[in-house]
Chains A and B, each alone.
Chain A
Amino acid sequence: MTAMNQEPTRKIGDVILDLRHISLSFGGVKALTDISFDVREHEIRAIIGPNGAGKSSMLNVINGVYRPQEGEIIYRGEHLRDMNTYAAAKSGIARTFQNIALFKGMSVLDNIMTGRNLQIKTNFLLQALYLGPARKEEIAHRVKVEEVIDFLEIQHIRKTPVGRLPYGLQKRVELGRALAAEPQILLLDEPMAGMNVEEKQDMCRFILDVNAQFGTTIVLIEHDMGVVMDISDRVVVLDYGKKIGDGTPDAVRSNQDVINAYLGVAH
Chain B
Amino acid sequence: MLYREAGQFKSSYEADGQIFPLRQDRLGIALLLVLAFVAIPQFASAYYFSAILIPFLIFSLAALGLNILTGYAGQLSLGSAAFMAVGAFSAYNFILRIPGIPLLLAFVLGGLSAALVGIAFGLPSLRIRGFYLAASTLATQFFVVWALTKIQWFTNYSSSGVITAQKMEMFGYEFSSPASKYLLVLAIVSVMALLAKNMVRSNVGRSWMAVRDMDVAAEVIGIRLMRTKLLAFAVSSFYCGVAGALYAFAYLGTVEPEAYSLDLSFRILFMVIIGGLGSILGSFLGAAFIVLLPVFLNVFAHALSLPTSVASNLELMVFGALIIFFLIVEPHGLARLWQIAKEKLRLWPFPH
Contacts and interface: CB of A to CB of B under 8 A. Distances in A.
Interface of A: 63, 65, 85-86, 88-90, 94-95, 97, 101-106, 110, 113-118, 120, 122, 124, 127-130, 134-135, 138-139, 142-143, 146, 177, 181
Interface string B160-200: 00000000000000000000000000000000000110110
A146 B12 CA distance: 12
Given A89-B220, A114-B207, A114-B218, 16 more contacts: A86-B224, A95-B220, A103-B212, A105-B278, A106-B206, A114-B223, A117-B203, A122-B203, A124-B204, A127-B199, A127-B203, A127-B204, A128-B198, A129-B195, A142-B17, A181-B222
Given A101-B214, A142-B13, A86 B202 contact: no
A103 B219 contact: no
Contacts of B213: 102-106
A116 B213 CA distance: 17
A103 B195 contact: no
A138 B217 contact: no
A181 B278 contact: no
Interface string B274-285: 000010000000
Interface residues of B, number: 29
A110 B202 CA distance: 9
| Interface residues of B, dominant DSSP | helix
Nearest to B224: A86
B231 interface: yes
A134 B214 contact: no
B1 interface: no
Given A117-B203, A117-B222, A97 B13 contact: no
A118 B203 CA distance: 10
Given A124-B231, A127-B204, A128-B199, A139 B13 contact: yes
Q: Top 4 nearest A-B pairs by Cβ distance? A: A89-B222, A101-B217, A127-B202, A103-B213
A130 B198 contact: yes
A146 B235 contact: no
A85 B206 contact: no
Given A105-B278, A128-B198, A110 B206 contact: yes
B58 interface: no
B209 A106 contact: yes
A118 B222 contact: yes
